Amino acid sequence: MAFAERRRDMFAAFLRRQAQRAGIWLSKQLSWPWPLLTAVALVLVLAERYSRQYGRNVVDDAMTSMQYAKQLALGNGLVFNIGERVEGYTNFAWVVLMAPIYWLSTRLGFDFVVAVVHLTELTAVGVVFLVFWISRKWHGANSLPTWLALGVLVADNSFTVWAILGLEVHLLALFMLLAIAALVHDGRLRWLTVGLALLGAHLTRPDAGLFCGVLLGNELLEAWLELRRGDRTAARRRSAEALLAGGVWVASYGAYFFWRYRYFGDLMPNTYYLKLGGHIDAWGRGLRYLSSFLRVRYYFPLLALLALFSLRRPVVRGVLSYNALHALYVVYVGGDFFSGHRFFVPELPQLALLIAVGVADAATRLRRSSAFAKLEAAGVHASSLRLMAVAAFAVLLAAAYRRGLNEGPLAEEVRAWGGDLTRQTKLFRWLRDNKLPGASVANTLIGHTGFYSEARVIDVCGVIDRFIAHSEVKNFGKGKAGHEKLASSEYILAKQPTYVALGAISQDLWRRGYYLRADVPEDTFEGIWEKDQLPTTGTFLADTRVSFDGARPIGWVASGNAFENWPTRGHHRGQGDIVGSSGRFVNSYHPTLHDAATGSLTSPPFDLRGDLLLFRIAGGNEPDKLRVELLVDSVRVYTTTGRQGDHMSRRAWDISTLRGKQATLRIVDDSTAKWGYLAVDELVQWQRGAVAAGQ
């Protein structure tokens, strides 16, 4: 029995020695520069990976800022649409920073948007460096808190994903950390560095004024406390530096504010009136936003509370106070609609620093406590405790990373919307090359629309529209953040847009003088509404019109079961809503057989008298099995198919060279696959020039 006990004690002692050795080895490995190098590598690798998944796109708000930067670089001023001075951005410093990059991209031929993505990635690296530097300044050779701060920051996918979405989020974080670093460093001309950093933060986002005020207020509070402690020299120095820094910030920002007021004519950016102007009650929405942040990223605020043990550090007290007040501000404004808690992302590096300093000071208190002495007496050494802390830390980071794979901006923005933004980009690049002279486009995604199409944008959401932004809405603060003041269709159509993007106005624009243009790239959308120019350049020959609204047209012959019930009014059960029809129309989708029905519908011979033959079509995209074809002398002259959608786009066949001949139109459905149907409406011929005789 005694031998067994001795063997067990020897084994336990062996394990303790090995744990102690492992802890000592780990302590050496955790020294500089591994935390910084590891964090930088992870940020760059993850950001590049996410950017590729996102198709090298950026969010539309970023594209809006890029449009302002583009116009500035081209010499058109800080405008979105040329000649319209509306402040539709809230990130002046970011816009100004991007403008020379756009100018260089036009000279050197690189992709401006990709360059901005790389810039945001490098800005995130700068944030990581400052977190490392400040943490090392606080903790000296003890690098475990530094590993903790950087690890928590990089493992959270909001920090890394927002590093590729193109907005000013990380630039704001960088300026804030520069101000904190200047206060921590306590070097010469600290007041100037602090003042310029605060100015940069405030120019990056107007709400950063809260950070500036709290940080300087905390410095004045510390000066008063030093005075109470009898250190008059330190109190005078700190208060003088705070006032000088405040002078740099206030005077410089005041000059900027005077200029922007003269330039734009409003006290606040247009987005302020859009999101907060008027009587707003967004507390409920804001509380849900905050609770979502606490639920998903609980480890940030929970561990940051350990910094309450570090309130003797002036900067820690200021950062804690700011983050508490900022959370209250976010609740008041009702949060944000973007995933990943964008409004809190610039504060994540600060919370990471609070976590590090809180853990470090808590560990110091533990080492000085009687409980630690008892642990050492029991054979549990500091190195063993450190090893256990590292293990717990690794588990926390792994859990945070895994959670971010399924919840947050990676899943809800990158994977969900990357493909859509790629299609938007391709569509509006196409429109740039195919639009009518002097064209305008009504849309909600104004950034992509304006930047790529180079057309004047009519904004449905009011970001660059003063009237919408200053309008009053009921239950303001209860809807989707930033999307409560939407323009009515009458307001938008009164501006006579040349084009209207699908979904921008929730009604069928066929009846408002628009047609759905079908020659857009196939891997974009079903089309784009275009103001019909044909009524102003020619005549629709009324006696050639076949509308299907009354009784079945005479002479049309149906075969198979796809056209048993033609013409139809509205869509059948299981079929999407057919947009663009005018009353009854031909529909090969069967009430019971659905896509499986097949057949054909053939018109009687008719004379070709005009220059164009027009009709509208929706349905599947199978050129061989789903087609509308024009036969002249039994020879197929034209054929077309659907665009895999329920929107009726217009087709126009040039029949000017066939004028005087007879033709037959045939609608064929030989498909039984999904989307195996065609819907066709209103055939009519059009003739250029004056009204035809008898019309």
SS3 letters across 140-164: CCCCHHHHHHHHHHHHCHHHHHCCC
The confidence score (pLDDT) of residue 36 equals 85
Torsion from C-alpha of 390, 393, 398, 399, nearest 10 degrees: 150
Please enumerate in sequence order all residues whose Cβ is within 8 A of that of 597, keeping only pairs 6 or more positions apart, or say none. Answer: 560, 561, 562, 564, 588, 589, 590, 669, 677
pLDDT, tens digit, 9 for 90 and up, residues 187-241: 778 899 999 999 999 999 999 999 999 999 999 999 999 888 888 888 999 999 9
Residue 692 pLDDT: 45
Query: By mean pLDDT, which of 25-29, 503-507, 579-583, 624-628 is the weakest?
Result: 25-29
> Over pLDDT 90: what percentage of the chain?
57
- At 40 the pLDDT is 92
What is the average per-residue pLDDT within 422-437? 94
**CB < 8 Å & 24+ apart, contacts of 293-299:** 293/341, 293/344, 296/341, 296/403, 296/407, 296/408, 297/156, 297/158, 297/341, 297/344, 299/152, 299/396, 299/400
pLDDT given at position 693: 44
Q: What's the confidence (pLDDT) of residue 250?
A: 97
- In the predicted model, what is the mean pLDDT of residues 575-588? 81
Mean pLDDT (whole number) for 444-453: 95
Which pLDDT band, with edges at 50, 70 and 90, does 19 fall under?
low
Q: In the predicted model, is pLDDT for residue 339 greater than 90?
A: no
Q: Domains in the chain and their CATH numbers?
A: 18-411 (no CATH), 421-530 (no CATH), 536-688 (2.60.120.260)
* pLDDT over 80 (residue 304): yes
Average pLDDT over residues 289-298: 90
pLDDT of 60 higher than 70: yes
More confident residue, 32 or 636: 636
- The torsion angles phi and psi of 268, rounded to 5 degrees, stand at -125, 160
Lowest mean pLDDT among 345-349, 364-368, 393-397, 469-473: 364-368
Q: What is the mean pLDDT of residues 79-84?
A: 96
| Per-residue confidence (pLDDT) for residue 374, from 0 to 100 | 58
Of 86-95, 133-142, 380-389, 576-585, the poorest mean pLDDT is in 380-389
Q: What was the pLDDT predicted at 14?
A: 66
Q: What is the per-residue pLDDT across 397-411, written as a single tens digit (0 to 9) for each?
A: 777 777 777 888 988
Mean pLDDT of 642-651: 88
pLDDT top residue among 381 and 145: 145
Identify which of 307, 369, 345 has the alpha carbon closest to the alpha carbon of residue 148: 307
Mean pLDDT of the chain, nearest integer: 88
What pLDDT, on the 0 to 100 scale, is given for residue 593?
86
Identify the bridge partners of residue 616 per DSSP, sorted by sequence position: 650, 681
> Residue with structure tokens 């310029």?
196
Where do we find the tokens 């057949």? 599
Identify the top-confidence range among 363-372, 373-382, 468-477. Answer: 468-477
Give the pLDDT of residue 694. 41
Q: Which pLDDT value is given to residue 522?
A: 80
Name the least confident of 466-480, 511-525, 596-610: 511-525
Here the tokens at position 513 are: 């003088």
pLDDT for the residue numbered 137: 86
State the first-to-last Cα distance of the chain, in angstroms, to the nearest integer: 117
Question: For residue 103, how far is the Cα from the chain centroid?
Answer: 24
